[in-house]
Amino acid sequence: MNTSSRALALASITAVTVAVVSCPALAADTSDWIEPASKGAESLADSLKTFGAPILGLCLAGFGGWAVMTGHIDFRRLWMFLLGGVFIGVGPTFASWFMELFTGAS
């Protein structure tokens, strides 16, 4: 499978997922149709922080053990772990802020 086919497949999967997730909210026929999506995003953000931080800690501990056993530190891989930790910590907060910005909630 070439790169353009993979990109098309990923875009299709993403579009179907968004459509499936947003249909109940759009069918609610209320003025506050965004509330289910907003609550879902907040729950996902909290879950990601709760689940992602220990996983990142285990990965860094495993990387440290691997570095000790092999005798060298792969700084490229270390920076990727650290950047992943930043995304895990800041990403959900940014998503919540972005959602509040567009929904006008405070």
Residue 28: per-residue pLDDT: 61
Helix axis angle for 3-26 and 35-70, nearest 10°, is: 140
What is the average pLDDT across 9-23?
82
Q: Which of 10, 33, 13 is nearest to 23 (CA)?
A: 33
Q: Where do the domains of the chain lie?
A: 1-29, 34-103
Q: Which residues of 67-92 are buried (b: 16+ CB within 10 A; e: fewer)?
A: eeeeeeeeeeeeeeeeebbeebeeeb
Which range has the worst mean pLDDT, 35-44, 51-60, 81-90?
35-44
pLDDT band at 30 (very low <50, low <70, confident <90, very high): low
